[in-house]
Amino acid sequence: MLEKGFLREKPKPGAKRNRTTSIVSNTMLYLGVIILITSLIYMIVNINRAEAILGIWIIFMMSGLFLVVVSHLVKWIFK
């Protein structure tokens, strides 16, 4: 096919890996954003018990931020 001119370039062998990392990165990003948004909504709804749920809320916020940061790192490393 290369000789006939149908294909301009050879197919890249890492295309499947790039697609997989993109799917994993996007999934982690969306999951992290969902965790962040739901934890903020939960904190706003239960504002009268803020001191009681602060420990739980901080854990969820840290895990959401961790997922978002790792998602960006995965995209940056496998770019």
Q: Which two tokens stand for residue 17?
A: 């890996």
The C-alpha atoms of residue 12 and residue 52 are separated, in whole angstroms, by: 54
Residue 72 is predicted with a pLDDT of 93
pLDDT in tens, 20-39: 888 999 999 999 999 999 98
Asked if 33 contacts 69 with a C-beta cutoff of 8 angstroms, the reply is: no
Asked whether the whole model's pTM tops 0.85, one would answer no
Whose tokens are 């999951």? That residue is 31
Asked if 64 contacts 42 with a C-beta cutoff of 8 angstroms, the reply is: no
Q: What is the mean pLDDT of residues 40-64?
A: 84
